Amino acid sequence: MRALVQRVSEASVEVEGQIIGRIGHGLLVLVCAMRGDDEVAAGKLAARVAKLRIFRDDEGRMNRSLADVAGGALVISQFTLAADTRSGNRPGFSSAAPPDTGERLYLHFAENLRKAGIPVQTGSFGADMKVRLLNDGPVTIWLDTADRA
């Protein structure tokens, strides 16, 4: 699974003019399930996000996790993280998991964050969403479960 994690002061997601998710201080997490991913990968990625030390400590160093700062997570499904741009000008998305698998793993990821004690808001899988954020830092981190053994 892939995630693009952004440390935010605030973030929200809107569908059809209605805000369906909103957080203050925390992480905006854009998530994509890839072909071959499973619940184990979703759980591992959620654990990494929950423990990722990218919040400032008392000395101003990035040394605290989302749980340490009592922050929230806004989790948005984004299949375009699977974009293959190696040839041509139009990205391909064939490496993304099929929609039914993608939705199941996206929800499993969000539930695993909740089980880690993180307050979670979500977008709407497959919907046309408007996402607003105030990136804090800016801090933006790319995570991919395929990068770790």
- Enumerate the active-site residues: 78-80
Pull the structure tokens for residue 112. 């695993």
Question: Do 110 and 123 contact (CB within 8 A), yes or no?
Answer: no
User: Dihedrals φ, ψ of 118, to 5°?
Assistant: -95, 130
Question: Do 80 and 14 contact (CB within 8 A), yes or no?
Answer: no
CA 124 from chain centre, in angstroms, equals 13
